[in-house]
Chain A
Amino acid sequence: MRKLLLLLLVLTFPVSGWAQDSAGEEDNASQSQEMTATEQEDAFLFEDEEILEVWDPIEPVNRVFFWVNDKLYFYLLKPVARGYRWAVPEPWRVSVKNFFSNLAAPVRIINSGLQGKFGDAGNEITRFAVNTTIGIGGFFDTAKDHFDLRIKDEDTGQTLGHYGVGPGPYLVLPILGPSNLRDGIGMFADSRMNLLYYISEGWTYYGLRAYDKVNDLSLDKDTYEGIKKDALDPYLFVRDAFIQYRQNKVEN
């Protein structure tokens, strides 16, 4: 799901005007004495409200890449994933996902450690040891299935966020999808912590990365199709979901 959202689909920096305006008006309104009884009754529903901070200075460019990725998804990635889903039984595909996820264990170990989350780092080390051995090279998530050790996603973008680095401008990257300046740089660092980078090279490496994505997509329940169908403006929907998703990741 994480990869999926990343595939398909900023906070100490200045926020766009309307977000600040609405935050201000909200405060004024809740302090106002002229509220009706119903409004007062309902006011408590707004106490936990968070204002989403959106910074999208290159929206026109992002929209172009969003459009390109959209076409890439519907005309290339999805048909390939559909054929692959038809040909390969689901348990195999889940195993492939486990395999790639296990190779990425150092990303989670290093970034948990860098954030001082030593319990999580230890958990990921154990998971890696168990899944690489008993889980036969990572094809089985034995650590989760038999020892109840659950995966906890940590990456370089989250580590930077943990130390107060804001997300920077929202970016839609070609092929890779929604990101921001901080997480884009983080993704590059992550790729160098991933064992995949050290066991393959050149076209094999990029081929395997593409295969990982197609495999993930084959396990997905048409999330992007759902967004396209429901949202009034899919670009805005994906952007705002991504911003919230990463903010929540950094905070946890």
Chain B
Amino acid sequence: MLKNLPGFLILVAMLFATNAIAESTPTDDVRTSVDAVIALLKDDTLDTESRRDRMREVIDKRFDFRAMSQRTLATNWKKASDAEKQKFTELFAELIQNSYVSKIESYTNESVKYPGEKKNGKKAVVDTLIITSSAEIPVNYKVYLKDGSWQVYDVIIEGVSLISNYRSSYQEIVMKDGFDGLLAKMEEKIRELKSVPAEAS
């Protein structure tokens, strides 16, 4: 029995290894996307527009904008028609992408650390730390397993949940101006963002 112990351990190790290959961890998935974005940032051969387009593609694959929209609208989501849901998801995706891309563009020289993750069944939180010259900013990604890959449904920066933040503001806008009013404001904001060229800071 003891003679076989090393062999047994190797077998166990291999079993674990195969499992690890079969299913990527939440951190793996987040890291792949973050690394891809950083690589795009450092790629000097790209002009601003094509870099942004490529970044949006990467973000689109990792972020589940429908789940995010649903969480943002909460009760208003349940009241909305399918067409309204569709419209909101499209506009919201565009706003989040824009805001994420412009944020990330200002962090060119900083490095990202992955201190750990908390997994709970089909949901997990991936902790990341953006290290700048003067501060360390905790950015945590809430993810869930969807069709074999971990999809982001909320981002928490320094304890501030992006989704909770949008939810609260959007709810107030829906109360004042109605759902159509919210959609109109979002469209107006997107037009505004498009008319302003990429600014150098």
Contacts and interface: CB of A to CB of B under 8 A. Distances in A.
A244 B99 contact: no
A232 interface: yes
Contacts of B144: 44-45
Given A240-B165, A244-B159, A49 B171 contact: no
Interface string B115-146: 00000001100000000111111000010100
A3 to B, nearest CB: 10
A225 B199 CA distance: 11
Interface in A214-237: 219, 221-222, 225-226, 229-233, 236-237
Nearest to B136: A150
Nearest to A215: B134
Given A49-B71, A245-B158, A232 B168 contact: no
A129 interface: no
B164 A50 contact: yes
Given A94-B134, A226-B99, A230-B99, A244 B78 contact: no
B94 to A, nearest CB: 11
Contacts of B95: 230
Nearest to B188: A232
A49 B74 CA distance: 10
Chain A interface SS verdict (over half): helix
A33 interface: no
Chain B interface SS verdict (over half): helix
A237 B163 CA distance: 11
B172 A18 contact: yes
Range for the number of chain B residues in contact with chain A: 35 or more
Interface in B146-201: 153, 158-161, 164-165, 167-173, 175, 182, 185-186, 189, 193, 196, 201
Given A232-B169, A232-B173, A244 B161 contact: yes
B159 A94 contact: no
Contact of B67 (A18, A45, A244): A45
Nearest to A4: B135
Interface stretch (A22-30, A104-112, A199-207): A22-30
B102 interface: yes
Contacts of B168: 52, 54, 236, 240
Interface string A164-207: 00000000000000000000000000000000000000000000
Contacts of A252: 159
Contact of B70 (A22, A42, A225): A42
A80 B151 CA distance: 42
Interface string A73-114: 000000000000000001101100100000000000000000
Residue of B133, B142, B160 with most chain A CB atoms under a 10 A cut-off = B160
Given A45-B71, A45-B153, A237-B165, A22 B137 contact: no
Interface of A: 1, 5, 18, 21-22, 25-26, 29, 42, 44-46, 48-50, 52, 54, 90-91, 93-94, 97, 150, 219, 221-222, 225-226, 229-233, 236-237, 240-241, 244-245, 247-249, 252
Which 5 residue pairs across A and B have the least CB separation, nearest first? A248-B159, A236-B169, A221-B106, A230-B99, A240-B168
